[in-house]
Amino acid sequence: MRGFVNEVRANLGLPVTLAAWAFLTVMMALAGPFGSYEEVPLIRRLLFWLVVTALALVLAVAVRVLVYSRLGLSGLWRGGVLTALLVATVLTWPVHQVMDLRSDLYPLLPPQPGELAVFIFCLTMGFCALRHAMGDGSLGPAVVGFAGGQVALPGHRPHPRLLDRLAPDLRGRVLRVSGRDHYVDVVTDAGSASLLMRFSDALAELEGAKGLRVHRSHWVADPAVIAVEREGARVFLRLTVGDPVPVSRTYLAEVEGRGWPGQA
């Protein structure tokens, strides 16, 4: 449970989440849905939707962490749709009840529950699409393709070659890479996938990604580390995605010099 809460907290602090909050707030305030455009001043609409979208985004992020990280569903059309369905299911009734409490402060014409469910579903899908598209700078640099390969635009560097092995909708910022038998599990902020390849080959294709190998079977990205924790003589990294990652003695000195959260 603690790991889940930490993941939700870390995702809420991402620039892409804050950008989505600002975008949705402004969009809803300007649109003035459910009869509020003509009845409510702009500043009051802005304050109202600032609170409503914040609460909705907290729930959406929590559900997204559950779907993407805990259930292992990835990609916009798998994880995103399920996230939107769950958020719409949970939010429709309480939001409808609040809208039904008409007041002079913020008069609304509450839609039917079915219409409201579709509305919440579309808003959540919009958030998931924005989260997926921006990925907090996941692909970072702009890359132009040409017949012989890729070239980075001035001031940018190409993304890690390992991402080219993933489906297009999974090519986000690499958060962690783990070796498992003959497979490598790659987790990005857009989802996860398993690749049939050697762990050493995967590491060789991570050039350009800021991170560190911390175990014979684990590599983690700097932005993914929430805290460095100790249990006796054992050291673990708590990440924004998945279970804690063990740190082996071979890489302990490098980890201690990394300056990650939780280090003395």
Q: Which of 63-67, 116-120, 162-166, 212-216 has the highest mean pLDDT?
A: 212-216
Instruction: State residue 133's pLDDT score.
Output: 65
pLDDT value at position 145? 34
Provide the percentage of residues in the chain whose pLDDT is more than 90.
11
C-alpha 79 chain-centroid distance: 11
pLDDT of 107 reads 65
Q: Mean pLDDT throughout 34-42?
A: 78
pLDDT tier for residue 184 given thresholds of 50, 70 and 90: very high
On whether the CB atoms of residues 176 and 214 are closer than 8 A, the answer is no
pLDDT in tens, 205-231: 888 788 999 999 999 999 889 988 888
Segments in the chain forming alpha helices (H): 2-12, 15-31, 36-39, 42-65, 81-100, 113-134, 199-204, 249-256
Task: Label residue 237 exposed, middle or buried (CB < 10 Å: 0-12, 13-18, 19+).
Answer: buried
Model confidence band, residue 75 (pLDDT cutoffs 50, 70, 90): low
pTM of the predicted model as reported, rounded to 2 decimal places: 0.50
Amino acid 130: pLDDT: 72
Q: At residue 248, does pLDDT exceed 80?
A: yes
Give the residue extent of every domain in the chain. 2-134, 160-256
Return the closest-CA partner of residue 179 out of 238, 220, 138. Answer: 220
Return the pLDDT at 263.
Answer: 57
Token pair recorded at residue 162: 């390992």
Residues in Cβ contact with 8 at an 8 Å cutoff, skipping those fewer than 6 apart: 58, 61, 62, 65
Q: Which CATH architecture has domain 160-256?
A: Beta Barrel (2.40)
Lowest model confidence (mean pLDDT) among 9-13, 171-175, 234-238: 9-13
pLDDT in tens, 127-155: 777 766 655 433 333 333 333 333 333 33
Average pLDDT over the chain reads 78
pLDDT in tens, 90-125: 888 887 777 666 566 566 666 788 888 888 888 888
Burial of 219 (0-12, 13-18, 19+ CB in 10 A): buried
Give the pLDDT score at 114: 86
